[in-house]
Amino acid sequence: MAEVSADDGAQSVCIVLESIPVGALEAFAEDFTVLKTQMRLMEHLPELARFSISIVAKGPAFLIETGARTEDEIKVKNERILAEKDLDETRITNALKSFVERIVIGEAACPYTKSHDLAAVGLEKRGIVPGPVGYRYNGSSDVCGALAAFWECICELIKTEDKDLSTTVLSLPAIGAGTSVEAHERFAAVVEVVSRYLCLFRGDDLFGLVHFHPAYERNLVEPVDLPAYGHLPPQSWLRPMLTMNGNAEEAKSLTEEELSKSNYQRRSPHTAINILRVSHLNAAVGAKSIVDLDLGDGRTEKASGISTYSRNAIKLANIPTNTLDTALQQEIAMQLEDQPPQQDSEPSQ
């Protein structure tokens, strides 16, 4: 689909997939048809509107058809691909590693990552061997290009032993580039589709996802008050989580503005997806990680990662906002050659 999407002309392509069950192909084709009716997402995924996907009756194959792009659609595409200009993989990756060192390691957002190149440290007694972090990169601004890169990462993880590749972080700097509200909406739509198709094929039994964006704002991710795969828990859940974790004082004393700083654990210099092995997640959090969380409004929801999210929320709440913003802007600037830090307007807190 990435190659088809790159061409502005009308196309009809048949792809034979003999090793994939017909039922899986049918599920994808049906869900893609549903996706195109969901305007909340399609508003931010305009390149998918001209696609039509069906199953070839006589065999395990897709028929992918596209209409020719209109002049307006070509204009939208050309504006979108401006984000691909002057991207440098080395600078992008170094900026992301700086973020990992600062937040993931420096603030212990993940206690089992001790350097930007080595993960799953400290889980040896639980049967997990530490292994390298794989940094992967795709500079396409097209959702189809992002999906292709994501599935390449999944396939690489499946065929590679843990000791040789513990986890992968995929940089997608042209997806939702910048810190504007529009950039965040584009990011949220693309990663929702990524998560959606991983779960459709039950890949969530093998892998967990963590989504990052420079303007990450949990209150702008749908659904706002329910879990969203790969995202932080709803901000409205933080006080109940703190209370359950034994941090009742902080649950009462921290302001909403202070709690909103929890978003900084996902504010990386560009859009990125961390792909984690479920076996590592289970070893890290233990068998009792999923609990019944009393939200205090008559609702009880299943929640996990209570201690980690509580610890991170408290730590970040006590760091001055200016300190967090300055560090992030410095990492954004690392990606740009001889240019000042990016100053796009951020979503409202």
Give residue 284's pLDDT.
83
Other CB atoms within 10 A of residue 277 CB = 22
Q: With CA atoms as reference, report the closest residue to 127 among 277, 272, 254.
A: 277
Give residue 338's pLDDT.
56
Q: With CA atoms as reference, report the closest residue to 130 among 151, 142, 152, 115.
A: 115
Give residue 172's pLDDT.
98
3-state secondary structure 195-234: HHHHHHCCHHHCEEEEEECCCCCHHHCCCCCCCCCCCCCC
pLDDT < 50 positions in the chain: 340-349
State residue 129 phi and psi, 5-degree precision: -95, 130
Give residue 17's pLDDT.
87
- CA 151, 213, 119, 276 dihedral sign is negative
How far is it, in rounded angstroms, from Cα 173 to Cα 270?
5
For residue 265, give the amino acid letter. Answer: Q
Give residue 20's pLDDT.
84
